[in-house]
Amino acid sequence: DIQMTQSPSSLSASVGDRVTISCRASQSLTNFLNWYQEKPGKAPKILIYAASSLQSGVPSRFSGSGSGTDFTLTINSLQPEDFATYYCQQTYSIPYTFGQGTKLEIK
């Protein structure tokens, strides 16, 4: 199985900050890496697919980059609604695997 390691596990930031979340895979994914946002009591929501493609309807302050084994989710100018948990997921090979999640909290 491909192991996905996210860092940090938790992060405190303020409205208006720029934050980055990293995701490292145990083997190359080319660009088969997705990012999801999950809020309490809600289903996860796709933000970024194929490493860097912004899902329709997702604010442009979200961006993704990377290829191979190292990927980054960046959120520019944090908004109150962005405080949530973020997961990366590889869909390069079965079983698809998720990172352990990064909880973004208000400072």
Min dist CB 94 to another protein, Å, is 5
Min dist CB 5 to another protein, Å, is 12
Cα 104 versus chain centre, distance:
11
Q: Helix, strand, or coil here: 57?
A: coil
The angle subtended at Cα 24 by Cα 19 and Cα 28, nearest 5°, is 135
Per CB under 8 A, contacts with another protein among 7-66 are: 31-32, 34, 36, 38, 43-46, 49-50, 55
For residue 1, state whether it binds another protein (rule: CB under 8 A): yes
For residue 99, state whether it binds another protein (rule: CB under 8 A): yes
Min dist CB 15 to another protein, Å, is 26
Amino acid at 33: L
Closest CA to 104 of 74, 87, 89, 82: 82
Looking at the Cβ atoms of 12 and 53, the one nearer to another protein is 53
Closest CA to 32 of 86, 94, 75, 82: 94
Residues that bind another protein (CB under 8 A): 1, 31-32, 34, 36, 38, 43-46, 49-50, 55, 87, 89, 91-92, 94-101
